[in-house]
Amino acid sequence: MSLISLKNIYKIYNVGGEEVRALDGVDLTIKENEFLAIMGPSGSGKSTLMNMIGCLDTPTSGLYEFEGEKVHEMDDNQLASIRNRKIGFVFQTFNLLPKATAQHNVEIPLIYGNVRRDLRQAMAADALESVGLEDRMHHKPNELSGGQRQRVAIARALVNRPSIILADEPTGNLDSKSGTEILEIFDILYRAGNTIILVTHEDYIASHANRTIRLFDGKIQEDISTTA
């Protein structure tokens, strides 16, 4: 059964009286334990597609089902709930809370998911351990390196055991060594059975994925699977 199914998705903006089709009839199915890279030049609609998959945005028209739930019919609260339970976000700029410790940052999705405190702490510790930060749990973001910050963000994305991990240029703000480390973590997560969707414009990053789609002018131009 497919995890994500997008059918005939349109996202149309009205910019200064002009119609902009950010997504122009996209059909996409993503199965469990895929490692998908979304590529394309700026303005191709890859960010819009990622927001759509991440349930941050709803389509102008079309059908979006996430594990059988009809996302295109959801209101703000339902979208928040599905993001909280089923999607783990990793941002290019990490987006950690600067005043909170690594541990606390990782706990945030669990707080919104109303998880008990003791359970929450255990889950956060597990997630941080899985990205190799068990000895940095009580550090604040400004006491961590860029690579470590992104690992905290990955731990935060993992902590709710989401159905998909959605990463937007996760290495864009990192040096190549840290970037490689982060990609290795994604490889490990993929091999452990996770579904990962990665937005990037770097071919060598996309090469970690087992499937790559290329967007151009809001349409899927290319969809290549590489069975590793």
State in angstroms the smallest separation of the CB of 220 from other proteins.
Answer: 21
Q: Is 207 in the site for other proteins (CB under 8 A)?
A: no
Q: Which is nearer to other proteins, 18 or 75 (by Cβ)?
A: 75
Least distance between other proteins and beta carbon 30 (Å): 19
Q: Report the residue from 33, 113, 175, 226 that binds other proteins according to the rule CB under 8 A.
A: 113
Counting contacts by CB under 8 A, is residue 74 touching other proteins?
no
| Min dist. Cβ of residue 48 to other proteins (A) | 9
The residue within the footprint of other proteins, chosen from 35, 64, 66, 89 (CB under 8 A), is 89
Please name the residue that has the structure tokens 């950010």: 22
Among 51, 101, 163, 212, binds other proteins (CB under 8 A): 51
- Applying CB under 8 A, which part among 33-41, 60-68, 109-117, 181-189 lies near other proteins? 109-117
Beta carbon of residue 99, minimum distance to other proteins (angstroms, whole number): 5
Interface with other proteins, residue 56, by CB under 8 A: yes
Residue burial 113-128, b: 16+ Cβ < 10 Å; e: rest:
eebeeeebbebbbebb
Which of 12, 20, 74, 80 forms a contact with other proteins (CB under 8 A)?
80
> Per CB under 8 A, does 99 bind other proteins?
yes
